[in-house]
Structure formats: structure tokens, C-alpha cells
Amino acid sequence: MRKAGIDSYEAFARSVVAAIPDRSISFEVFSDDFAEMEQQALKIASWGSNIYVKIPVTNTLGDSSVPLICRLSQMGVNLNVTAMMTIEQVREVSRALTACPAGYISVFAGRIADTGLDPVPIMREAVEILSNYNNLELIWASPRELLNVLQADSIGCHIITATSDILKKLVLIGKNLELYSLETVKMFHDDAVKAGFTIS
């Protein structure tokens, strides 16, 4: 939003809600103080019935947001709890969202993969945990490649936050690999011709 030159978070959020009234939209609190986070969350929630207020699982000191999540949940605020990476976080936050009308559990599978761990077993277990909560859905956050879309689908993950770069690759699903190999060779050749390189 900053890169796009947005200067009013509220005005932008309200315009998005007006343009997309029938889909859930998440807007995040900015404060690192839980009391101020709560005030911001209630204000953000008032901008539209389809808004999910995005709350980080901890503040920057590592203090758990669970007490705040419980309070907001009991006040009827739709929540998107974000930046989770462990099963224990999923369990704890799910319990805190029991009273929530609707909530998202956002697990950063892509960042888990960046550490060298396979995120699929963690995400599969998260799906199983959430099967006990009719009001909650799991988000596969920060995907790194198209394969993540297929992985998320295969384990029954409810939502994946795919970037436009990943979405553009959807047309490649099922592509003939021999044809793809040939296209790649042609691409390499075209690049070399355009570069004007020669080997004496």
C-alpha cells in the first residue's frame, strides 16, 4: 500500500469494502501494544461486516496475543491470526477463537520451507486440528511456488494466499514436459542470439 502511494489506511480499506462487499477481506492492526491493538481492531472491524481483523500471534517482544484474541473473539470480531509457524501456536490460537463468529489461522508455510523444513506435515496437522472448529479456516500463507497450491489442495487446506506471479503459472499445470523442455531450449537459444554472444 505504501508503494502504491496510499496515504489513508481507513479510506483505502473502506473503498475496498465498498468494491468487494461479498468476500472476506483482512486488514491488520499496526500497534505493538495490546491495549492499543484492541482499540485498532474494534475500529477496523467497524468498517465492514466482511472484514477480518488481522492480529499477529505475538507482539515484537514475543508476548502472546492469545489474551487479546480471546477478548476480541468474545466481542464477536472476525479475526485472522497471522505469522504462525508452529503446531502449538495453531492449537493455542484455535482454542482462543472458539467464540469467534469466524476466524482464519494463518500459517506461514513458505517461511517454514525457507528454513529447510517440509511444511506439508505441519499444515496437514493444522487441518486436522481445525476440523474440530466449524468457525475456523486454515490459510497457507507465503507460498513460494505453484506446487504449494497443489500441496495445499491435497491436504484440504481452506485458503492459500497466492501472489500474481504464482497465479500466472496455473496454466502450466499438466503441461507436457517434453514440450516444456523444447520451449526452454528455444528460450536459451533466443537469449543467446539476442545477446549477440559468440565463441571464437
| Beta partners for residue 64, in sequence order | 58
Q: Taking a C-beta distance cutoff of 8 angstroms, is the pair 163, 176 a contact? A: no
3-class secondary-structure state, position 79: strand
C-alpha 39, offset from chain centre:
23
Spatial separation of the C-alpha atoms in residues 181 and 4, rounded to whole Å = 38
Spatial separation of the C-alpha atoms in residues 34 and 72, rounded to whole Å = 11
The residues annotated as belonging to the active site are 54
3-class secondary-structure state, position 10: helix
Residue 46 is given by DSSP the state T
